[in-house]
Amino acid sequence: MLSLPLSWYLMLSATLFVMGALGLLLRRNAIVAFMCVEVMLNAVNLTFIAFSKYHQDYTGQVFVFMVIAVAAAEAGIGLAMIVNMFRHKHSVQVDEATLLRH
Amino acid sequence: MGAETIFFFLFGGGAILSTLGVLLSRNPINSAISLVVSFFFLAGIYAMLSAHLNAIMQIMVYAGAIMVLFVFVLMLLNFGDEEHEKPRLNPTQIISLLVGAALLIAMFSAATAFVDGSRQVFHPSMPPGFGGVEAIGHALLTSYVLPFEMAAVLLLVGIVGAVVVAKRRF
């Protein structure tokens, strides 16, 4: 017996997404910014799963599978780039990455 | 107040509080641990929404594999725990907060407005095996076999790319 409306889950997802977006904009540590991207992806996954149950359709859950695969690939590449940046700059602050800015 | 409401506020509130921990803690290791906790709470929400396979995947892949990678890189770099951030707000941060508030209001109104109140509740009965391994696996290997194989190729490219990017010299 499920009684909660769909909008509660959507509002939880929206809250998590906005928190992740704010963290991405406000934090200067590149690794923490990456973690905030993961938070945003999780919020989107929650929306997919809530709508999947609402429509009684598997497609949303299959798409969550794909989002997790993309998140794994993104985390691997992104952390490799951060390791490389640390090797050159000895810092992971995003303000230090100014090579392409001039 | 039914059991579902209690679990929704337990898991949802826990997820929001631990995500706040990710945003606010000064030490990136603490952020990573908070994020693992947040993933566990979200897995509980997924299980409530009868996405059992995705709840397990969330714990195994996100909390188990991706966060281990994050913590591994944090320990490898070992850049100390203080972050050189200025505590006062500069104009960019104020604009970011305003944009975040506007986004939150827009998403909340969209969440409450897209269907009328009577149709917002979930269907009381679910098809048997909904969200289980058999149903999702069948869908992945029949209707969605091409995206499934493309995800495999993407992960292979990701492995090779991570090695190439992080390697010092060839």
Here the CATH number for the domain that contains residue A62 is: 1.10.287.3510
Residue to substitute from B9, B54, B89, B156, interface A, most A β-carbons within 10 A: B54
Average pLDDT of the segment spanning A9-20 = 94
What is the percentage of chain A residues whose pLDDT exceeds 70? Answer: 96
Whether residues B136 and B75 share a domain: the answer is no
Residue of chain A nearest B72, judged by CA positions: A79
pLDDT of residue A1: 47
Could you tell me if residue B15 is inside a domain?
Answer: yes
Number of domains making up chain A:
1
CB contact under 8 A, B131 and A61: yes
Residue of chain A nearest B163, judged by CA positions: A80
CATH number, domain of B32, equals: 1.20.120.1200
Average pLDDT, rounded, for chain A:
89
Contact with chain A for residue B157, Cβ under 8 A: yes
* HSE-up (13 A, CA, CB side) for residue A31: 34
Whether residues B2 and B72 share a domain: the answer is yes
User: Which residue type does B58 have?
Assistant: Q
Could you tell me if residue A101 is inside a domain?
Answer: no
Contact with chain A for residue B20, Cβ under 8 A: yes
Average pLDDT, rounded, for chain B:
86
Average pLDDT of the segment spanning A4-25 = 91
Could you tell me if residue A38 is inside a domain?
Answer: yes
Number of domains making up chain B:
2
Q: Structural domain of residue A61, as residue ranges?
A: 28-96
Contact with chain A for residue B162, Cβ under 8 A: yes
Residue to substitute from B42, B99, B109, interface A, most A β-carbons within 10 A: B42
pLDDT digits (tens, 9 = 90+) for B5-20: 899 999 999 999 999 9
The residue ranking higher by pLDDT, B167 or A40, is A40
Q: Is the pLDDT of residue A54 over 90?
A: no
Average pLDDT of the segment spanning B32-55 = 93
Could you tell me if residue A14 is inside a domain?
Answer: no
Q: Is the pLDDT of residue B130 over 90?
A: no
Could you tell me if residue B97 is inside a domain?
Answer: no
Last residue of a domain, one of B79, B100, B121: B79
Last residue of a domain, one of B79, B99, B119: B79
Question: In whole angstroms, what is the distance from residue A21 CA to residue A37 CA?
Answer: 7
pLDDT of residue B127: 78
Whether residues B140 and B66 share a domain: the answer is no
User: Which residue type does B101 have?
Assistant: A
Q: Rounded to the nearest 5°, which phi and psi values hold at B72? A: -60, -45
Contact with chain B for residue A53, Cβ under 8 A: yes
pLDDT band with cut points at 50, 70 and 90 for residue B128: confident
Could you tell me if residue B161 is inside a domain?
Answer: yes
Which neighbouring-strand residues pair with A29?
Answer: A93
Structure tokens at B120: 């917002």
Average pLDDT of the segment spanning A29-37 = 92
* HSE-up (13 A, CA, CB side) for residue A19: 24
Q: Which residues of chain A does B73 touch, with a Cβ-Cβ cutoff of 8 Å?
A: 31, 79, 82-83
Sign of torsion over alpha carbons B122, B127, B131, B132: positive
Contact with chain B for residue A86, Cβ under 8 A: yes
**Residues of B numbered 109-128 whose beta carbons fall under 8 angstroms of chain A's beta carbons: which are they?**
110-112, 115, 117, 120-124, 126-127
For residue A71, give the nearest of B66, B157, B166 by CB distance: B66
pLDDT of residue B60: 93
Q: Structural domain of residue B42, as residue ranges?
A: 1-79
